[in-house]
Chains A and B, each alone.
Chain A
Amino acid sequence: MKIEILFPEYGNLFGDLGNMMYLKACLPDEEFIETSIDSEPAFVTEDVNLIYMGPMTGKNQEAVIQKLLPYKDRIEELIRKKKCFLFTGNAMEVFFREIIDGERRIEGLNIFDFSAVRVSDNYYTGNYYGEFNQRKVVGCKIQSSMAYGANEHCYFAKGIRGTGINRSSGYEGVRRQNFIGTYLVGPLLVMNPYFTQYLMYHMGVEKPKLAYDVAIKEAYHQRLTEFENKRTVME
């Protein structure tokens, strides 16, 4: 099994390398490929079970779009073939139609018909509590942009508390086949043991086992209790 981490030198903000740190602990015998921005992604020529990228700065996001544009057809083919993708934070926006930054319009890979609108002078932060595949999902948000587009039928999580892809939507992220893009950071896989199990299963792990099973579930249930509590401020 191969897991490709795209451009970790860029996609490493907000503690999200913790996602791969944890997955490595769950899958100690599998191959993790770290692809640098000056190299060709492994998924172009190899069979990869999961492609991951984390949040990055706006400038790096634009470099990543340019880097991935030549591989757009291949990415669409892999999505159709139900390969797993996990793009967290603003990494998801790379696949959108466009990113609006004031007067500037940055073209994305246009795999999802969504726009992201950047707010340059501030960051939105908050907590999110929702549902994915009949399991509760928790996460945090640190983002300088919001996404706009109809994700009611292609969302990652259905909101219970907190802001979804934008302030007027409870639906968080985008999903097509096994492609999952979400603004949730925290890191997502560390905060959501059942989602991590789900992901590993769809990557091809027959009986997914969580590393530090007791500790991760303890932390998850504690946070779940906090997020369910109406007195907990979410943003």
Chain B
Amino acid sequence: MKKNTVRFYVTITIVKIATKILKLLGRNATHLPGWMANKLCPDFLGHLEKPERLVYITGTNGKTTVSNLTAEVLKDNGYDYINNASGSNVSEGVVSALLSKSSFFGKSRCKLAVLEVDERYSPLIYPYMPPDYLLCTNLFRDSYKRNAHTEFISGVLNSQIPKHTKLILNGEDLISNHLAMENERRYFGINCPDGHSSSDNIIKDIVACPNCGALLKYDYIRYNHIGRAHCPNCDFGSPELDYSVEKIDYENQRCLIKMPGGTCEFKLIGSNVTDIYNMLAAIALLSELGLEVSQIQKSFEIIKVVESRYYSENVHGKELVISLAKGQNPIACSRICDFIRHETGTKAVVCMMDDCYDAKESSENIAWIFDIDFEFLNDASVKQIVLTGVRNADYHLRLLMAGIPEEKIVLCDKEEDAASYVDYAAVDKIYILHDIYSVQYENAKKVYQDLKNRLEERGEEA
């Protein structure tokens, strides 16, 4: 913690007043206070006292869910902690969260902080607030504009992770589980068939040994590069797991997890393999933080995935699903496509994944859609795909390249009009896939509500 300066005190005074005003106006104040603090005092974070235990959750996919699950369990067990679940995961969000539980002198009012941190922002955060624990869910290619590729982003993280930080890593991701190799670490992973594996993805972000260049031998692949592999020439390979899922029972929504203290049963939070990774990551972290297994088990019986990520409802016999698909993130989108193809019944899919900011003033680089496994939607059960937004001509071409018949594809220029194009009578399930931007989530909710109204009207008529 740096010695506090007049500039710091002026900044914290202004920001605390601004936060009060924002709250009076009914705003969340989860980003703006941090933005103001960083603008007025560029090393503001360095002046805040570090909580006794600082936990960061990072990674390409799943960090929000893991952060939310961890926070929910802590809350359920009466912990007082700092968290940015309702705010942003960039520098401003982290500052806002820490500031919300700091005194005027920058003293932390909480002993524990569990913060979701975007991996790209680690250079702006770690030097000022070095983590005691760092959980990395996985590393994949993500927004090409920001993150370029995994070699680049793991290099960014490696340059920032302090030596004392204890790492909790995905044992089945050979990229993230080789971060900061000198650090103390724990690995989590799935050690049994998950029932949904797909090795036919377009991309794999690690195929050659980073030490000697030999092509890796995969024992199995769950999806993309997630699985177990080893180098035939040197000792590079997947590690032994400290926390492992040993059995999955989707029907009864239970799983068995082997932990350092023994094997325990947990309730599943969903039916997708990524749900299992996310809950396992949170369980491993909570256990490392010292929570008893019984405490974690009890909380997992009641917690749910946040609705803005996934929500489904049965309306007059039709399942209506709204799901985050994360634009510019081909793996997240591929996972959704894979999930949809494995679901039972006939389906319609609404895609609303344009980059809102690019759509306003630029022209989105759509290279990433050629890394999405849209081929998974080329399935007899998928009866219709509605493509919305300004880039629908690009998506149209991509879907044709994926082998999807022209007659199944419908183009709709305005996202909010999508409901009128959905042939809901012809399918059992309707999936609305939206990007992470709040404006898109609002549009997705409108489409959802519109479809729900139509289904209800139809149900009443019947």
Contact B363 A223 (CB under 8 A): yes
Chain A, 222-235, contact with B by CB distance < 8 Å: what is the 0/1 string?
11001100011110
Q: Which residues of B have CB within 8 Å of A125?
A: 144-145, 365
Known contacts A125-B144, A215-B393; is A190 also within 8 Å of B363 by CB? no
Contact B151 A57 (CB under 8 A): yes
Contact B365 A123 (CB under 8 A): no
Contact A186 B363 (CB under 8 A): no
Q: Which residues of A have CB within 8 Å of B207?
A: 9-10
Contact A212 B144 (CB under 8 A): no
- Is B436 at the interface (CB under 8 A from chain A)? no
- Is B383 at the interface (CB under 8 A from chain A)? no
- In the bound complex, CA of A216 to CA of B394 (Å): 8
- In the bound complex, CA of A14 to CA of B208 (Å): 18
Q: Which residues of B have CB within 8 Å of A14?
A: 144, 367-368
- Is A42 at the interface (CB under 8 A from chain B)? no
Chain B, 197-210, contact with A by CB distance < 8 Å: what is the 0/1 string?
00000111001101
Contact B367 A187 (CB under 8 A): yes
Contact B367 A215 (CB under 8 A): no
Q: Which residues of A have CB within 8 Å of B148?
A: 13, 123, 142, 144
- Is B370 at the interface (CB under 8 A from chain A)? yes
Contact A63 B397 (CB under 8 A): no
Known contacts A37-B213, A125-B144; is A226 also within 8 Å of B363 by CB? yes
Chain A residue nearest to B403 (CB atoms) is A25
- In the bound complex, CA of A230 to CA of B151 (Å): 35
- Is B326 at the interface (CB under 8 A from chain A)? no
CB distance from A64 to the nearest CB of B (A): 11
CB distance from A148 to the nearest CB of B (A): 21
Contact of A219 among B144, B215, B394 (CB under 8 A): B394
CB distance from A112 to the nearest CB of B (A): 24
CB distance from B332 to the nearest CB of A (A): 15
Contact of B370 among A18, A57, A59, A223 (CB under 8 A): A18
Chain B residue nearest to A13 (CB atoms) is B149
Q: Which residues of A have CB within 8 Å of B145?
A: 123, 125, 142
- In the bound complex, CA of A16 to CA of B401 (Å): 14
Contact A123 B152 (CB under 8 A): yes
Known contacts A59-B151, A142-B148; is A9 also within 8 Å of B204 by CB? yes
Name the interface residues of B125-150: CB closer than 8 Å to any CB of A.
141, 144-145, 148-149
Contact A190 B397 (CB under 8 A): yes
Contact A17 B370 (CB under 8 A): yes
Chain A residue nearest to B400 (CB atoms) is A212
Known contacts A10-B208, A57-B151, A59-B151; is A36 also within 8 Å of B215 by CB? yes
CB distance from B123 to the nearest CB of A (A): 9
Contact A127 B365 (CB under 8 A): yes
- Is B214 at the interface (CB under 8 A from chain A)? yes
Contact B203 A17 (CB under 8 A): yes
Contact A232 B362 (CB under 8 A): yes
- In the bound complex, CA of A67 to CA of B205 (Å): 20
Contact A21 B370 (CB under 8 A): yes
- In the bound complex, CA of A203 to CA of B192 (Å): 48
Chain B, 397-429, contact with A by CB distance < 8 Å: what is the 0/1 string?
110110000000000000000000000000000
- In the bound complex, CA of A185 to CA of B371 (Å): 13
- Is A78 at the interface (CB under 8 A from chain B)? no
Q: Which residues of B have CB within 8 Å of A208?
A: none
Q: Which residues of A have CB within 8 Å of B369?
A: 15
Contact A142 B365 (CB under 8 A): yes
CB distance from B105 to the nearest CB of A (A): 35
Contact A186 B367 (CB under 8 A): yes
Chain B residue nearest to A142 (CB atoms) is B144
Q: Which residues of A have CB within 8 Å of B330?
A: 15
- Is B182 at the interface (CB under 8 A from chain A)? no
- In the bound complex, CA of A127 to CA of B398 (Å): 20
- Is B396 at the interface (CB under 8 A from chain A)? yes
Q: Which residues of A have CB within 8 Å of B400?
A: 211-212, 215
CB distance from B94 to the nearest CB of A (A): 21
The residues of A with any CB-CB pair to B shorter than 8 Å are 9-10, 12-18, 21-22, 25, 36-38, 57-60, 63, 123, 125, 127, 140, 142, 144, 185-187, 190, 211-212, 215-216, 218-219, 222-223, 226-227, 231-234
Between A and B, 28 residue pairs with Cβ closer than 8 Å are A12-B203, A13-B148, A15-B370, A16-B367, A18-B367, A18-B398, A21-B370, A21-B401, A37-B213, A37-B215, A38-B214, A57-B151, A57-B152, A58-B151, A60-B151, A123-B145, A140-B367, A142-B144, A142-B367, A186-B366, A212-B400, A215-B393, A215-B400, A218-B397, A227-B363, A232-B363, A233-B362, A234-B362
Question: 7 smallest A-B Cβ distances: which pairs?
Answer: A18-B370, A15-B367, A15-B370, A140-B365, A57-B151, A219-B393, A9-B207
